[in-house]
Amino acid sequence: MPKVIRSSRATPQHTRVGDASSILKRFYIFERQLMRALAGWYIQTPGVELKFFLGGEQWLSSQHADSLRARVLELRYPRRDVDKKWDQDLLVFMDELLKAANLSEFLAGVYDVALAALRDEIQEYLDRTDPLDDAPTVYRLRHIAYDTATRIEQMHLLEQPDATDTSEWRDYLSQRLASIGGLSGLHERDAAPIDPGRPGFQVQRSARRDPRFRTARFHLPHENKYDKAGAAAWKRIESLDKRVAMQVWSAISHFNEIWAGEAPASVLFDLSGEPWDFYLDLSRWIWDETRHSMMGYRAMQGWGWDVPSLIPYGDALYNALGPMPPAQRLALLYYFEEGLLRSGTKQVELKILEASGDDGSAHDMDYDWADEAIHVGYGFKWLRHLLGDDNAGQAELTRLTDEARAIFADYVKAHKDDEEAKLAPYFERLYDVVAQMTLDVPEDGLEIQWAPVVADQAVLEDL
């Protein structure tokens, strides 16, 4: 008869490696799909502060997803099925989450239902698992648990200008989640609720801007060459001093970089089946550009400006990009960013800001420069992936870029006479505000020449 000695300790259910990898894979799928959902709703969130918040939130979900994915791969190395055989019930729940009727419902579904469930189920996992055997998971989940609790708390501190009653939607999503055994799949499964039959979520192809701002097509003179009055009004600001002009230009330009976050967000949402690193890099790109927009907003608030009454918050760039295929949107964004770096524009802007003594704006531009260099790498890497790393791929990139530039030029021409395209009223009001703020500084002999944007292929080829 076989013999054994008693077990050294009792172990709870659902704590073996197979259980752990299965649960963590579901958490990974949740965070990955939540990243996508947040990117989609980020595009159509008009309020500045909420848009900034969602830009950071989608990136945070990408970081959690990456950490969970890495741990799942560790648990059954060399298996590589983390991106295959996803639980269909969980995917359906995440699709339902997207179908919110408005922003209030979406935020309630994400933070009061989905992330609240994740917070609780992570704690259940930590209470159940062996902290020695499963120490790497414990480390990761403790950090995610902290982030998750903080996310929920921060969202509830944000003001929602158009808040609506979300109780019915929250109840439906809670029942839907309960019907699939929760995010972990371990809970008892309740009956599924009646499907309300809402249409699938579609990403907005035209920008939605904060209603506190006047509708604006463009934000600075270089975008619309037909706006002679706007260019002349800007020249008055330049006449104060090139240092002053750069401070103002940098803040307005940074604030309006939100379009450069919306573009990769739309690509991230639209494309499926790409390598995980593709989504991870695009998520970072979205967050970086959102941070740049926040830089400009913070600078203008720091000067005491009433930003909505003074500053154009343009929509032309995203609106022109919206109907393009995903690879073409990415190609045009890459073209702009690569051109700025190749021309040395960022370096010149930083030198002028340093000469102004504006430590805050120089600090922002220094980090902007670092981020944009990373983005050029992302664009080069993923356009090669999407279009092919060969001469045919390069030819297709050139074709897509040239066509995209023509589309944008046509968009500008079509909207050049819109009342919303006129920049002179902004700059005329802004001149008086800026002129009253100027300070005399010692002469420093600054002779730097600066061009605002290098987006002309002939100019780039001469560099």
Give the three-state DSSP class for 314: strand
pLDDT digits 0-9 by tens, 387-416: 998 988 999 999 999 999 999 999 999 999
Using omega within 30 degrees of 0 as the cis cutoff, is the peptide bond preceding 78 cis? Answer: yes
pLDDT digits 0-9 by tens, 68-117: 999 999 998 777 789 999 999 999 999 999 999 999 999 999 999 999 99
Confidence of residue 299 (pLDDT cuts 50, 70, 90): very high
Query: So what's the pLDDT on residue 458?
Result: 45
Query: So what's the pLDDT on residue 135?
Result: 98
- What does the pLDDT average to over 289-303? 98
Residue 456 has pLDDT above 50, yes or no: no
Query: So what's the pLDDT on residue 457?
Result: 44
User: Per-residue DSSP letters for 30-55?
Assistant: HHHHHHHHHHHHHHT--SHHHHHHHH
CATH architecture assignment, domain 215-462: Orthogonal Bundle (1.10)
Query: So what's the pLDDT on residue 32?
Result: 98
Confidence of residue 185 (pLDDT cuts 50, 70, 90): very high
407-413, long-range: CB within 8 Å, 24+ apart, which pairs? 407/320, 407/324, 408/316, 408/317, 408/320, 408/321, 408/332, 411/316, 411/319, 411/320, 412/218, 412/223, 412/224, 412/225, 412/226, 412/316, 412/320, 413/226
How many Cα atoms occupy the beta-carbon half-sphere of 99 within 13 Å? Answer: 15
Confidence of residue 453 (pLDDT cuts 50, 70, 90): low
| Cα 321–chain centre separation | 16
What mean pLDDT is reported for the chain? 94
User: How many angstroms separate the CA atoms of 268 and 272, rounded?
Assistant: 8
Instruction: Tokens for 357, please give them.
Output: 């003594």
The domain ranges of the chain are 17-178, 215-462
Domain at 17-178, CATH from 2.60.40, 3.30.70, 1.10.8, 1.20.1260 = 1.20.1260
Vertex 148 angle, CA 180 and 65, to 5° = 70
User: How many angstroms separate the CA atoms of 130 and 11, rounded?
Assistant: 8
User: How many angstroms separate the CA atoms of 32 and 186, rounded?
Assistant: 20
Tell how strand 215-216 and strand 313-314 pair up. Answer: parallel
Q: Is residue 321 within 8 Å of residue 258, measured between CB atoms?
A: no
pLDDT digits 0-9 by tens, 187-243: 999 999 999 999 999 999 999 999 999 999 999 998 999 999 999 999 999 999 999
Q: Which stretches within 388-441 are classed as H helix? A: 391-415, 424-437
